[in-house]
Structure 1
Amino acid sequence: MIAETVCSAVAAAGLGIAAVTAYRKRFLAAARIAAYSLVPLGLVMTGIVEWVADTAFSPVAWAGFGVLGGAWALFATTRALERRRGGTREERKAARAAARRGAVEPSASAPSLGAGSRQGARPQTASGSRADTGAGDDFSDIEAILKKHGI
């Protein structure tokens, strides 16, 4: 009863504010305020406010929310444990069987090397020997760009 009265008062006040806003020639804002103020009135007329008020003060409804929360917690916990273990039992069995069969080639996990990084394509130093694979080899292309621009 009190919730319905409060919602009706909020709707009346909102419509009053919308009327003042429309009087100030701000019709778009007035229409938006009127729309927002009619929502509580519509909720009262459909009976949703009474249902929410009855639910809010019902111990059985709160117990139901508790049961739903417990079910959600169990679901989330089992999903987290499943991910931590690496999937379901069947998925783990399939992964182990694939690992035993050698489903992945050893070279498949090796990083892809560009044409400039292969052993045969290493730049030569001033003495004519191949450059060592070190930090200098990583920056050789950057050095070439800088030299090209005179830096």
Structure 2
Amino acid sequence: MSDFFLFSISLAVTVLGLVGSWAAARRRGAASGLRGAAWSLLPLGAYLTGLTKFLVDLAFSPLKWAGVIVLGLGAVLYMTSGVMLRRGGGAKAGSDRAEAGRGGAPKAAPKSGGKAAVEGRKTAVDPDLAEIEEILKNRGIS
């Protein structure tokens, strides 16, 4: 796009915004008018700094869009790894060593050998849980 065309569009949007800001200032007060004027000056400022040309080149360039997508993917992967590390999901190999350092091998899954009667049916229960269940039953809590 030519520079003259970009300048014309930026200037037109700025002038329309300033007219709307003046109307807003008369209707809703000076604070609303100043806020509108601030937003209205952005298109002209973007043109004068070269940001408009950059954005136009970005919008019509597949190579630059590929770069934006790659940067976005990198950011998503980085944030995902941070969440995984915070939850402890990313430290599989280190967790076994940490448990071994705390007092032995990692705990094994409970075996289905211990069975307890619960309301007339048999279910597989961890021996520790069966003991707690028995204590609760003896105290009248079920």
Q: TM-score, normalised on structure 1?
A: 0.52
14, 22, 35: which one pairs with 1:32?
35
Q: What residue in structure 1 maps to residue 96 of structure 2?
A: 92
Q: What residue in structure 2 maps to residue 134 of structure 1?
A: 140
Question: How far apart are 1:70 and its partner, in Å?
Answer: 4.5
Q: 1:100 to 1:4 in 2, by over 3 A?
A: farther
Structure (1/2) with the larger strand percentage: 2
- What is the rounded CA distance, in whole Å, between the counterparts of 1:16 and 1:31 in structure 2? 12
Q: What residue in structure 2 maps to residue 15 of structure 1?
A: 18
- What is the rounded CA distance, in whole Å, between the counterparts of 2:69 and 2:21 in structure 1? 41
Q: Is the 8 A contact 2:99 2:105 kept in 1?
A: no
- What is the rounded CA distance, in whole Å, between the counterparts of 1:9 and 1:101 in structure 2? 73
Deviates more, 1:77-86 or 1:15-24: 77-86
- What is the rounded CA distance, in whole Å, between the counterparts of 1:7 and 1:28 in structure 2? 24
List runs of 5+ in structure 1 lacking aligned partners: 103-131, 137-151
- What is the rounded CA distance, in whole Å, between the counterparts of 1:73 and 1:25 in structure 2? 42
Let me know the Cα RMSD of the aligned residues. 3.7
Q: Is the 8 A contact 2:81 2:90 kept in 1?
A: no
- What is the rounded CA distance, in whole Å, between the counterparts of 2:7 and 2:55 in structure 1? 11
Question: How far apart are 1:91 and its partner, in Å?
Answer: 3.8
Q: Is the 8 A contact 1:4 1:49 kept in 2?
A: no
Question: How far apart are 1:47 and its partner, in Å?
Answer: 0.7
Question: How far apart are 1:15 and its partner, in Å?
Answer: 0.7
- What is the rounded CA distance, in whole Å, between the counterparts of 2:139 and 2:102 in structure 1? 35
Q: Is the 8 A contact 1:14 1:34 kept in 2?
A: yes
Q: 1:25 to 1:55 in 2, by over 3 A?
A: closer
Q: Percent identity?
A: 31
- What is the rounded CA distance, in whole Å, between the counterparts of 1:85 and 1:44 in structure 2? 47
Q: Is the 8 A contact 1:14 1:37 kept in 2?
A: yes
42, 56, 60: which one pairs with 1:57?
60
Q: 1:19 to 1:84 in 2, by over 3 A?
A: closer
Question: How far apart are 1:11 and its partner, in Å?
Answer: 1.0
List runs of 5+ in structure 2 lacking aligned partners: 107-137
Q: Is the 8 A contact 2:24 2:32 kept in 1?
A: yes
Question: How far apart are 1:51 and its partner, in Å?
Answer: 0.5
